[in-house]
Amino acid sequence: MEDRNRIRGFLRDEQLVKYASILLYIILSSCQIFFNKWVLSSKEINFPYPLGLTLLHMTFSSVLCFLLTKVFKVMKIEEGMTLDIYVTSVIPIGAMFAMTLWLGNTAYLYLTVAFSQMLKAIMPVAVFILGVCVGLEIMSCKMLLIMSVISFGVLVASYGELNINWIGVVYQMGGIVSEALRLILMEILVKRKGIKLNPVSLMYYMSPCSAICLFIPWIFLESSKMETWNFHVLVLSLNSLCTFALNLSVFLVISQTSALTIRIAGVFKDWVVVLVSALLFAETKLTVINLFGYAIAIAGVAAYNNHKPKNGESTTLVSRSPKNSNKEPSGPW
């Protein structure tokens, strides 16, 4: 009887950890979106340099990972990384990750937070199309219908946008394509090379590569403009720390749950961001057509999330904890 109570208590604690990690991800993700928008667009901070901000995030992450693993040694880097794997896999993934963050942050200079989130609903379409092109996905009538519903919803939401800026749309779509490419590359890496890394190991290897990929265009596009800018050290350090914590929380959710869970949590988070942004930012003016189109797109995303696991979960570099080691690691962050 006592052993049974211990097991129940252990399972209850395990469930609490899962729910807490999901809640942490939703809170951090939502706050980071608003934080980035404020840093890039507010008159108080006046830091309209998305490339510089993203470079700062990746540099901060690289330094912090190095300190945690090599100096203080509070976390361990998993073995198995070779020069061939790093050059052929990690560098392309890091480059796509850098491109995703750069273009996504740039879009905030032109679009409202709410509309940016609405456009992101098209992500499954981009991932599916690229997956079909490289042989990871199979075209079917059901998937074609789901993709059509998502696309139609995003088009309706875009039609309902009062102050649409097509430059911002191009940046956001570029970020979506980059993210889709990153997810495809990660899936290829795991399925064909069997690489599994814990969250800190993944950030340890990928952050420096992303920082270098961002540094090169930063020299030509933003470095000269930032020479006269007053550096708000505290604000940008806090922003970078929040980004690092968000990345860890995403990896934590994936390792504790599944790809489906992170996608469902992401859908809920997007709705929270869309609605809250209407309260926080005066520039955000939601229309009935906006919300109707976004609801259609989200319904399509929900159908995709329900259909995807039946055909095999998408994979990631994040390794699971021992209790789930019999399951295939899965899920985009």
User: Taking the model in full, what pTM does it have?
Assistant: 0.82
Determine the Cα–Cα distance for residues 53 and 39; give it in Å rounded to an integer.
Answer: 9
Give the containing element (helix H, strand E) for 34: helix 2-41
* Segment 76-92, tens digit of pLDDT: 787 777 888 888 888 99
Q: Is the pLDDT score of 167 beyond 90?
A: yes
Q: What is the pLDDT of residues 15-58, one digit of tens each?
A: 787 788 888 889 999 999 999 999 998 877 878 899 999 999 99
**Residue 3 above 90 pLDDT?**
no
Number of helices followed by number of strands (H, E) in the chain: 12, 0
Mean pLDDT value of segment 210-220: 95
pLDDT of residue 58: 95
Q: Are 130 and 314 in contact (CB under 8 A)?
A: no
Tokens of 49: 């340099």
Whether 178 has a pLDDT exceeding 50, the answer reads yes
CA gap 236, 135 in Å, rounded? 42
What percent of the chain clears pLDDT 90, i.e. is strictly above it? Answer: 37
Residue 196 has phi, psi (to 5 degrees) of: -130, 130
Measured CA to CA, the distance from residue 171 to residue 108 in angstroms comes to 9
